Structure 1
Amino acid sequence: MDSFLPPSQRCSYDCEKDPTGPLNRKQLIEHINKQAIETPDKPELKPYIPGTVRGKKWIPPPQPVKEQEANEQIAIDLGDEYEQALSSATQDEIIDLAAILGFHSMMNQDQYHASLLNKGQPLGLGWDGITKATKQKIFPMEPPNPSDPDETIQKVEDDEPKYIDLNWNNIKNVSHDKFDKLFKALEKNTHLETLSLANTGLTDREAEKLAELLEKNDTIRVVNVETNLITPSGIVRLIKSLLKLKSVEEFRASNQRSQVLGNKIEMEITQLIEKNPTLLRLGLHLEYNDARHRIATHLQRNIDTKRRLARLAVTSS
């Protein structure tokens, strides 16, 4: 179901009656609230008396014999050597043993990581550590993006040699005209290598323009369009555009409006990536194991090929 369609077009129900007038949402809500207030409550047939059981009281059936036997505690004989070692073990040693055996519910994260890293248990926790939450780490707020879209577009148009990284991440309310100017300027740019457009409100309209750009520009190596409003078909269009010049090495497009791509889209993306010999990293959430495994195997093959060619180039020089 396309979420961009209005609600009236998402279902097949059609009302044959003619509308009596335009819809006034405020008046409708006020009418509903008024009806709810004026409608009297239905009186109970029997008054409520605390502690009185009405009707037949439900009694749970007895447990089967097998479940009763399974719930009984099982005594395990560990032997005299283990019994003696455990009886003389300290509390910290037992916590370390629980971490080794994987009993995560017996300790908190600080105790577990301290056991794995052999740092010694934190003081004052003991078995009560599971009831004490780890203190939250406060991180400072990320500062706003200081980039000026108009200034960066001018640098791209001028094709400045030192300007190789364009970062528009988290810039709100970027107009369609600015995106069009940017993509048009990038068609002739020969120095920009990283294009970051995360959380800028990109839709399929801008994704189509970006795909046309990637089919013409052979200098861009990294493309980041995460956290936007691109549909699964728009993501497929972008990945398909990478096969034209085969110059992009990293592509990121996770966290879009449609979180689930679906099996058909994921298989189509997998087939497109398996045809790309230059893509090294892909930032995209995939739900099915087959698609994840095939893409990971192909990307690792591309990385190995690039390392092998770089090694041969060094030895030959």
Structure 2
Amino acid sequence: MADIEDLELAGLSEAELLELGELIDPDNVLVPASDRIPPHTRKKPTGPYDRSRLLQHLKTQAAESKVGEDYVPFVKRTPKPSKEQSNSQSKPARGATNSTSEFDEMLEMLEPDDVNDLAAELGLHGLVVQSKSRGDDNHPIGGGGGRERTGSGADVSHTPLYLASQVSDDAQEADVDDAIESLQSDDPTLTELNLNNHTRLDPALISQLVEALHGNTHLKTLSLANIRFSEDHAKQLADVLRVNTSLTVLNLESNRITRKGIAAIMKALAENKETVLTELRLANQYFSGGAGAESDIAKHLEKVTSIIRLGYNFTSPSIRTRIDRYVMRNTDLIRQKRASLVV
């Protein structure tokens, strides 16, 4: 049995059908695009499509058409190189001779500190290590760096870095032992420890280093980027962060921390009501934490009121918005506290 609507449409004339088609909303996305657009032509089909016949018709029509006197038929040609291009390819650029040797001479004339600053400015962090690993007694472990203010008012940190090729393995291993000993003794002169890109830190030595942080009350900055810091180390560090009241900057970028390790660190910070950590960097981990890790960070950061700088690669816009809101809240709380102290 045919539908009543089909029977009603069958009884309409062609003009009535066209008028009915004009009543369709052209902006209705539920209707196919072909049904939203009225027909633009009333021409009848001339016959079946024949491609070869159509091409022949176009060629004949083009040959019979009149063209101007300045018409030039298209001929595909290979462009010839200009005189300037040929000269530049045949002759070497002026001053390019011995450029490598001149650059080497310039580097030899620089002081070690200047070379370190140049490497840091170029972003060659994979080729440099911290100053204490050099075995230089003139600088404290991870220290020796300074901050200066540029003309624009921005703070620029200068960490004493140098090429890793200049560091012996024995010196690196000995310096890590000195760092662990200084942490265990709560050395008041050790306020900054930078072990980024350290090549001699095995898992056991990292565990000893984290264990030495228990009871330390003077270390303020700890940088452990790109040392194969794992989930077990993160959980071990979480026990330290749960009671620590001196660390203000913690850098754990480019390591092997999983979602569970990140969650343990954030949970420990949320449980420590006296934490003073203001900067936490967890970006560029070997294992992707996914949306779960981002949710864990946002959930625990809501309870942390000290962090004003957080480094992590968030992919969820909603999570990123929550993180921004918490960071702005913490910044405002610190500003209010500073204002109350001034008054």
Specify the TM-score bucket, using the shorter chain as the normaliser.
Answer: 0.5 to 0.7
Corresponding residue SS for 1:195: strand
- Counterpart of 2:280, as a letter, is F
* 8 A contact 2:128–2:197 mirrored in 1: no
From 262, 274, 283, the counterpart of 1:235: 262
Which residue does 1:283 correspond to in 2?
311
Query: In the alignment, is residue 199 of structure 1 matched against residue 226 of structure 2?
Result: yes
Partner of 2:194: 167
CA distance in 1, matches of 2:267, 2:321: 20
Match of 1:183 among 210, 213, 226: 210
Asked whether 1:251 is paired with 2:302, we answer no
Which has the larger Rg?
A: 2
SS of residue paired to 1:186? coil
CA contact (8 A) 1:173 1:201 kept: no
**Residue 251 of structure 2 is aligned to residue 266 of structure 1:** no
Work out whether residues 196 and 224 of structure 2, in 8 Å CA contact, stay in contact via their aligned partners in 1.
Answer: yes
Secondary structure, counterpart of 2:201 in structure 1: coil
Give the drift of 1:183: 2.0
1:221-280 residue CA offsets vs partner (Å, 9 max, x unmatched): 111110001112211111111112241221111000124x32233222211111211221
Write the distance in 2 (CA, Å) between the matches of 1:178 and 1:245.
Answer: 26
Letter in 2 for 1:154: E
Tell me if 1:145 matches 2:130. yes
Matched, 1:219 2:246: yes
Deviation at 1:140, TM superposition (A): 8.0
Q: Distance in 2 between matches of 1:269 and 1:153?
A: 29
- Superposition deviation, residue 175 in structure 1: 2.1
Partner amino acid, structure 1, of 2:333 = T
**1:293 Cα offset (Å):** 0.6
Which ranges of structure 2 fall in alignment gaps of 5 or more residues?
1-50, 56-117, 134-174
The corresponding residue for 1:91 is: none
Which amino acid letter does the alignment assign opposite residue 303 of structure 2?
Answer: K
Q: 1:307 is matched with which residue?
A: 335
Q: Percent identity among equivalent residues?
A: 32
| Structure 1 unpaired stretches of 5+ | 1-57, 63-136
Amino acid at match of 1:251: L
Does the CA-based 8 Å contact 2:129-2:196 persist in structure 1?
Answer: no
SS at match of 2:237: helix
- CA 1:235–1:304: 2 relative to 1, 3 Å: same
Shift, 1:169, TM fit: 0.5
Aligned to 1:206, the other structure's residue is in SS state: helix
Pick closer, same or farther for the CA change 1:162–1:182 going to 2, 3 Å: same
Q: Which amino acid is the alignment partner of residue 258 of structure 1?
A: F
- Distance in structure 1 (CA, Å) of the matches to 2:295 and 2:215: 34
The equivalent position to 2:321 in structure 1, one of 270, 278, 293, is 293
Tell me the number of residue pairs that the alignment of Structure 1 and Structure 2 aligns.
182
How far the C-alpha of 1:313 sits from its partner, in A, is 0.3
Q: What is the CA–CA distance in structure 2 between the aligned matches of 1:250 and 1:266, rounded to whole Å?
A: 17
Mapped partners of 1:186, 1:295: distance in 2: 28
Change (3 A) 1:140 1:233: closer
Q: Provide the rounded CA distance (Å) in 2 between the counterparts of 1:283 and 1:200.
A: 17
- Whole-Å Cα distance in 2 between the matches of residues 265 and 184 of structure 1? 25
CA shift digits 1:97-135 (9 cap, x unpaired): xxxxxxxxxxxxxxxxxxxxxxxxxxxxxxxxxxxxxxx
Structure 1 residues 119-158: Cα deviation after superposition (integer angstroms, max 9, x where no partner): xxxxxxxxxxxxxxxxxx9948553334321111111122
- 2:130 maps to amino acid: N
The alignment yields a C-alpha RMSD, in angstroms, of: 2.5
Structure 1 residues 264 and 176: CA distance shift in structure 2, 3 A: closer
